[in-house]
């Protein structure tokens, strides 16, 4: 029984990690006032380029970097279109997802069916061997720790640092931030790039650690779940962790239910994260103060500085 619980926690963590990466990136991006719906596309691009890098070089670290860089590249296309050319963020984000799906499928053709060495869980003598908590605390792969560290840093960044305060300010009122003299567009570019890097990392996690292979459309909607997760967490990093575990748990539940042959079609299970998000949206919208304090007021709005 204990073994089963430990195993469940371990798998839930691996399912949650890509969501944590992608949602943390999107959270920062949205906090700056930019809604990037291209997370799914950026994850796929990150996944295929990460996989390709490892196939070519054999070095998992390079794969992780390649995934993040590819994500940044994709997000900067989005940034250029929406921030510099002021195109509609929703439409451009959707286009980015479609573009990412297509690009990754095309580029990934020659990698289908190839295998690489999986990024292995760490093993620290003594610590990992502790009963029960050993594996839960010290037995994951390095990227899981990276995801949690980045999430923690993000929370600290937003709450405690001046740069974080400026980022929140830009998302709250781009007009005011510009009037005071902050470079709104540059800050948003940075936030969008961070969002891209994180989505790319999330994608790379899928193809390097979660299942060490490349398959077309392998993110299977996780980008959308990450987007929902940001709203679910009402733009607060601490709740991203909670939500990612929850949504990750549902994913695992769905697989197990299928394996155990329960009569519930998988489609119903895949709906769960979205239903949960809608329920949370309804609940938090009853409390207008909370929305006012956490939701970036400028989300999705184009900003053009007069000169």
Partner 1 sequence: MIPALLELRGIQKIFPGCIANDDIDLTIAPGEIHALLGENGAGKSTLVKMIYGVLRPDQGEILWRGESIQIDNPASARALGIGMVFQHFSLFESMTTLENVALALPAQNLDLLRVQLEKTANEYGLKLHPDRYVYDLSMGERQRIEIVRCLLQDPKLLILDEPTSVLTPQESDVLFETLRKLVAEGRSILYISHKLEEVRALCGQATILRGGKRVDNCVPVEETAQSLAEKMIGRRVEPIQDRETPMSTQKRLVVSNLSKRSDELHGTDIQDVTFTVHAGEILGIAGIAGNGQTELMAALTGETGPPQSGSIEIENQDATAMAPMDRRQLGAVFVPEERIGQAAVSNLSLIQNSFLTSGKRMGFISAGIIDWSAVDAYTGHILDRFDVRATGRDALASSLSGGNLQKFIVGREILQTPQLIVVSQPTWGVDAGAAAAIHEQIQGLVANGAAALVISQDLDEIFGLCDQIAVISQGNLSTPRPAAEITTEAVGLLMGASNHASGDALANA
Contact residues toward partner 1 (CB under 8 A) are 162, 165-166, 168-169, 172-173, 175-182, 288, 291-294, 297, 306-307
Question: Which region, left, alpha or beta, applies to residue 238 given φ > 0 means left and ψ of -120 to 50 means alpha?
Answer: alpha
CB 203 within 8 A of CB 42: yes
Structure tokens at 218: 């392998």
Closest CB 184 distance from partner 1, rounded Å:
12
- 267 vs 288 by CB, closer to partner 1: 288
Query: CB–CB of 64/197 below 8 Å?
Result: no
Q: How far is the CB of 295 from partner 1 (least distance, A)?
A: 8
Q: Which is nearer to partner 1, 242 or 291 (CB)?
A: 291
Minimum CB–partner distance for residue 178 and partner 1 (Å): 8
By beta-carbon proximity to partner 1, the closer residue of 149 and 179 is 179
Contact 78, 96 (CB under 8 A): yes
> Which residue number, 1 or 282, has a Cβ lying nearer to partner 1?
282
Q: Least distance in Å: CB of 20 to partner 1?
A: 24
What is the C-alpha separation between 255 and 261, in angstroms, rounded?
10
What DSSP designation does 112 have?
T
Cβ neighbors of 164 (< 8 A, separation 6 or more) are 156, 157, 158
Closest distance to partner 1 from the beta carbon of 179 (Å): 4
CA dihedral 11, 214, 69, 161 (to 10 degrees): -10
Q: Which of 20, 28, 31 is nearest to 295 (CA)?
A: 31
Interacting residues of 303 by C-beta distance below 8 A, sequence separation 6+: 33, 83, 174, 175, 178, 184, 185, 188
Torsion angles phi and psi, residue 190, rounded to 5: -60, -45
Judged by beta carbon, residue 2 or residue 307, the one nearer partner 1 is 307
Q: How far apart are alpha carbons 16 and 10 in whole angstroms?
A: 10
**DSSP letter at 118?**
P
Nearest-approach distance from CB 30 to partner 1, in angstroms: 13
Nearer to partner 1, 177 or 244 (CB): 177
Q: Which is nearer to partner 1, 59 or 305 (CB)?
A: 305
Nearest approach, Cβ of 235 to partner 1 (angstroms)? 10
């Amino acid at each position: 029984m204990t073994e089963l619980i430990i195993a469940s926690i371990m798998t839930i963590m691996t399912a949650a990690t890509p969501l944590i990466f992608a949602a943390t990136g999107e959270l920062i991006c949205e906090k700056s006032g930019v809604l990037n719906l291209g997370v799914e596309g950026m994850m796929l691009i990150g996944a295929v380029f990460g996989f390709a890098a490892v196939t070519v070089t054999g070095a998992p670290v390079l794969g992780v970097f390649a995934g993040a860089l590819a994500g940044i590249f994709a997000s900067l296309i989005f940034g250029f279109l929406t921030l510099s050319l002021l195109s509609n963020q929703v439409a451009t984000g959707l286009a980015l997802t479609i573009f990412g799906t297509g690009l990754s499928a095309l580029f990934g053709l020659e990698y289908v069916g190839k295998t690489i060495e999986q990024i292995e869980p760490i093993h620290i003598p003594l610590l990992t061997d502790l009963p029960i908590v050993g594996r839960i605390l010290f037995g994951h792969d390095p990227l899981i720790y990276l995801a949690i560290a980045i999430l923690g840093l993000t929370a600290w960044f937003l709450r405690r640092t001046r740069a974080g305060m400026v980022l929140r300010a830009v998302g709250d009122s781009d007009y005011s931030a510009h009037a005071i003299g902050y470079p709104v567009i540059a800050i948003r570019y940075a936030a969008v790039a961070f969002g891209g890097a994180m989505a790319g990392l999330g994608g790379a996690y899928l193809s390097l650690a979660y299942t060490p292979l490349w398959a077309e459309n392998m993110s299977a909607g996780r980008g959308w779940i990450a987007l929902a997760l940001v709203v679910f967490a009402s733009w607060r990093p601490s709740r991203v962790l909670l939500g990612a575990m929850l949504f990750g748990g549902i994913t695992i539940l769905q697989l197990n239910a299928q394996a155990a042959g329960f009569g519930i079609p998988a489609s119903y299970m895949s709906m769960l994260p979205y239903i949960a998000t809608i329920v949370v949206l309804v609940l938090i919208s009853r409390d207008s103060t909370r929305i006012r304090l956490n939701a970036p007021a400028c989300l999705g709005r184009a900003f053009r500085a007069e000169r």
